[in-house]
Amino acid sequence: MKRILSGMRPTGKLHLGHYVGALENWVVLQESGEYETYFLIADYHSLTTNLDSSHTYQNSVEMAIDWLAAGINPEKSPIFRQSQIKAHTELFLIFSLLITTSRLERNPSLKEQVRDLELDTISYAHLGYPVLQAADILLYKGSVVPVGEDQLPHIEITREIARRFNQAYPKPNGEAVFPEPEGKITQFARLVGLDGKAKMSKSLGNTILLSDPLSEVVKKVRTAVTDTAKVRKHDPGNPDVCTVFTYHKRFTRAEEVKQIDADCRSGALGCVDCKTRCAASISEFLAPILERRAQLEQKPDDVKAILLEGEARARKVAEQTMSEVHEAMRLG
């Protein structure tokens, strides 16, 4: 079976953009029977743009709870923290020998992060985080990486590093140590933020959390950007430029979406009523996740045990890979 390694930075509770852009697809891949799936809590990565680690552990637990509530099965898919598998940092060091700073500076995702986070300076670790990501993936010999389209440049860097290592350090029998992984883009790579920006982002404050109750969803959807040309209730609108309608297309039943589209264009449906229906659809979608999340929150020791077990399983794979790396490099 092909192996998948994917992960997220632990920023705490997840939002709908995380679900649509990655988590939903992870569950599908997990249940497909085609892959071994490993899911990484990238706590070292979270420090590349913010040195404050005081909330990293709790944020990791909160994110793990969201993963489990959304359908990640720890028996099928080990969940583990990057910092607890020391081989990640060793392989990161080795891979750092195989890439130039000028190549990393051309990474378009880095430029987007600097812009979105309004950073004045870039640390060495931030510049090199695609190299650490390559170590994350290749340590488990991931051959498929489910990503949003904005992450494809990172996968290309991973492929380049794998290729260079295999050329420089083939196994004694001539075989390659690492596969060259392929990116697998999800169908809904991004979900528009409440403010109409390109994607939901905590830093932009335009999200709906997977843990938001109905009252909070209603409150947030009321602020969502709609067709600015539709001023009064009975004015004809254009759903194609409406943020709320993008949510309808994702969370409302297909037959209702067609009617909403028609009623908006004719002026029969006002924005207030449209938002109310949208909030109801999102809350209906979130209901089973909220129920499972509530159960997990009552059993924090079970969540911690899931992490420790996942880390033990991941560590065995990582140690085997590093044994092959050392042999190929003739180290030790």
Q: Are residues 184 and 218 in the same domain?
A: no
Q: What is the pLDDT of residue 252?
A: 96
Residue 153: per-residue pLDDT = 77
User: Is residue 127 assigned to a domain?
Assistant: yes
| CATH number where 151 lies | 3.40.50.620
Asked whether residue 207 is domain-assigned, the answer is no
Query: Could you report the per-residue pLDDT of 181-221, keeping only the tens digit for each?
Result: 988 776 556 789 999 987 898 888 999 999 999 999 999 99
228 and 110 inside one domain:
no
For the entire predicted model, the pTM comes to 0.91
Q: What is the pLDDT of residues 284-297, one digit of tens each?
A: 999 999 999 999 99
Is 198 within the bounds of a domain?
A: no
Rounded Cα distance, 241 and 239, in Å: 5
Distance from C-alpha of 91 to C-alpha of 131, rounded to nearest angstrom: 9
Question: What domain count does the chain have?
Answer: 2
Query: What pLDDT is recorded for position 294?
Result: 95
Query: What's the domain range around 55?
Result: 2-190+300-329
In-domain check, residue 195: no
Question: Rounded to whole angstroms, what are the CA distances from 269 to 98, 214, 236?
Answer: 58, 22, 9
Would the pLDDT of 95 be above 60? yes
Domain co-membership, 7 together with 112: yes
Residues belonging to the chain = 332
- Residue 138 and residue 78 in one domain: yes
- Residues 174, 32 share a domain: yes
Please check whether residues 250 and 168 belong to one and the same domain: no
* 196 belongs to a structural domain: no
pLDDT at 187: 59
Q: Are 137 and 177 in a shared domain?
A: yes
92 & 153 share domain:
yes
For all residues of the chain together, what is the average pLDDT? Answer: 92
- pLDDT tens per residue, range 5-50: 989 999 999 999 999 888 998 999 999 999 999 999 999 999 988 8
Structure tokens at 71: 């359908």
Whether residue 160 sits in one domain with residue 69: yes
- Contact at 8 Å (CB) between 154 and 130? yes
Q: With beta carbons less than 8 A apart as the criterion, state whether 285 and 260 touch.
A: no
**Residue written as tokens 């449906």?**
269
Residue 189, CB-side half-sphere exposure with 13 Å CA sphere: 11
Q: Give the domain CATH number at 250.
A: 1.10.240.10
Residues 103 and 73 in one domain: yes
Q: Write 108-114 long-range contacts (CB < 8 A, 24+).
A: 108/153, 109/150, 109/151, 109/153, 109/154, 112/150, 113/49
With the C-alpha atoms ordered 258, 260, 265, 268, is the resulting torsion angle positive or negative?
A: positive
Residue 181 covered by a domain: yes
- Residue 262 belongs to some domain of the structure: yes
Same domain, 25 and 166: yes
Q: How far apart are CA 75 and CA 37, in angstroms?
A: 10
Predicted confidence band at 275 (pLDDT cuts at 50, 70, 90)?
Answer: very high
The H or E element spanning position 154 is helix 152-168
pLDDT at 183: 83
State whether residue 39 is helix, strand or coil.
strand
SS3 93: helix
Q: What is the mean pLDDT of residues 74-86?
A: 97
Return d(Cα 65, Cα 59) in angstroms, integer: 10
% of the chain residues with pLDDT over 90: 74
Percentage with pLDDT > 70 across the chain: 97
Asked if residue 203 belongs to a domain, the reply is no
Per-residue confidence (pLDDT) for residue 137, from 0 to 100: 95
Indicate whether 180 and 75 sit together in one domain. Answer: yes
